[in-house]
């Protein structure tokens, strides 16, 4: 089974900071990687799929990239609405694996 | 617009059963695979089950071990999850979510979740 290792587990940052979250796959998965944002008490929200494609309506300060088995979610300039938990997800047909999440908190 | 309303959660004793429902609107329900995802308190996301658009194909996470059954009624635009032999480890918020396609099998729309609490 493919494992997704997400880091860090918690990240403290200030409004305006550039933030980077990493997800590493245990083997090559191509671009089959998505990112979700989840706020407390709410359902997750799809941000990015195909490693770097922004879901409709997602602000352009969010971006995704891939290099081999390492995937990165970047928030270009952190906004107050961005303090949340972020999850990566590998998808392949009808099989899914989530990372353990990164909580972005206020510094 | 795409919308889901989940219901059926609640407090149940270990060994008990619950049936969750997810009422869909805003799209042609029968054209899409659907999934259930759960989240234990303070924990991450865990895929539970999926069902094909017609209901012909289903699959479950390893932890289900024959205890859960996913089904759907396309005439009523409703997804179900029958959960039997519940344990304390099944305590979680359960979400339904839509899968837009096989090639991009992400979860593009989610319900608000329904809380299942298993406790004696």
Q: What is the pLDDT of residue B104?
A: 87
* Model pLDDT, residue B34: 97
**Cβ proximity of A27 and A97 under 8 Å:** no
Q: Does A89 touch chain B (CB under 8 A)?
A: yes
pLDDT at A35: 98
Query: Is the pLDDT assigned to residue B108 strictly greater than 90?
Result: yes
Residues on chain B touching A2 (C-beta within 8 angstroms): none
Length of chain A: 107
What pLDDT digit, counting tens, does each position of A29-51 carry? 999 999 999 999 999 999 999 99
Q: Look at B104 and A49 and tell me if their CB atoms are within 8 Å.
A: yes
A56 is written with which tokens?
């409709």
**Predicted confidence band of residue A104 (pLDDT cuts 50, 70, 90):** very high
Look at residue B65 in the predicted model and tell me its pLDDT: 87
B41-62 burial by CB neighbour count: b if 16+ within 10 A, else e?
Answer: eeeebbbbbbbbbeeeebebbe
**Which pLDDT band holds residue B92 (cuts at 50, 70, 90)?**
very high
Looking at residue A32, its pLDDT comes to: 96
| Confidence label for B73 from pLDDT (cuts 50, 70 and 90) | very high
Residue B89: is its pLDDT beyond 90? Answer: yes
The answer to whether B110 contacts A93, with C-beta atoms less than 8 Å apart, is no
Find tokens 């352009």 and name the residue.
A60
Q: Does the structure show a pLDDT above 90 at B29? A: yes
| d(CA B17, nearest CA chain A) in Å | 24
pLDDT at residue number B28: 97
CB contact under 8 A, A43 and B110: yes
The verdict on a CB contact (< 8 Å) between B110 and A50 is no
Interface check for B104 against chain A (CB to CB < 8 A): the answer is: yes
Q: Which residues contact B120 (CB under 8 A, 6 or more apart)?
A: B13, B14
Distances (CA, A) of A35 to A51, A60, A61, B58, B108: 8, 14, 14, 25, 11
pLDDT at B5: 96
**Interface membership of B55 toward A (CB under 8 Å):** no
B106 lies within 8 A of chain A by CB: yes
| The predicted structure's pLDDT at residue A10 | 97
Minimum CA–CA partner of A9 in chain B: B44
**Residue B56 sits at the chain A interface (C-beta within 8 Å):** no
With an 8 Å Cβ cutoff, is B47 touching chain A? yes
């Amino acid at each position: 089974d493919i494992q997704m290792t997400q880091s860090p587990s918690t990240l403290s940052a200030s409004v305006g900071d550039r933030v980077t979250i990493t997800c590493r796959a245990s083997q090559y998965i191509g671009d089959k990687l998505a990112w979700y944002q989840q706020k407390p008490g709410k359902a997750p929200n799809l941000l990015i799929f195909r490693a770097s494609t922004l879901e409709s309506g997602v602000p352009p300060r969010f971006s995704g990239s891939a290099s081999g088995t390492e995937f990165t979610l970047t928030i270009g300039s952190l906004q107050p609405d961005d303090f949340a938990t972020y999850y990566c997800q590998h998808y392949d047909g009808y099989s899914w694996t989530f990372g353990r999440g990164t909580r972005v908190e206020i510094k | 617009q795409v919308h889901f309303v989940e219901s059926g959660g609640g407090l149940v004793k270990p060994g008990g059963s619950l049936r969750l429902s997810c009422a869909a609107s805003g799209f042609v329900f029968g054209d899409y695979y659907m999934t259930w995802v759960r989240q234990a308190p303070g924990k991450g996301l865990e895929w539970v089950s999926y069902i094909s658009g017609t209901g012909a194909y289903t699959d479950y996470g390893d932890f289900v071990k024959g205890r859960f059954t996913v089904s759907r009624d396309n005439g009523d635009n409703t997804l179900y999850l029958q959960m039997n032999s519940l344990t304390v480890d099944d305590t979680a918020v359960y979400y339904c979510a839509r899968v837009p396609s096989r090639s991009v099998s992400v979860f593009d729309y989610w319900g608000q979740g329904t809380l299942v609490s298993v406790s004696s």
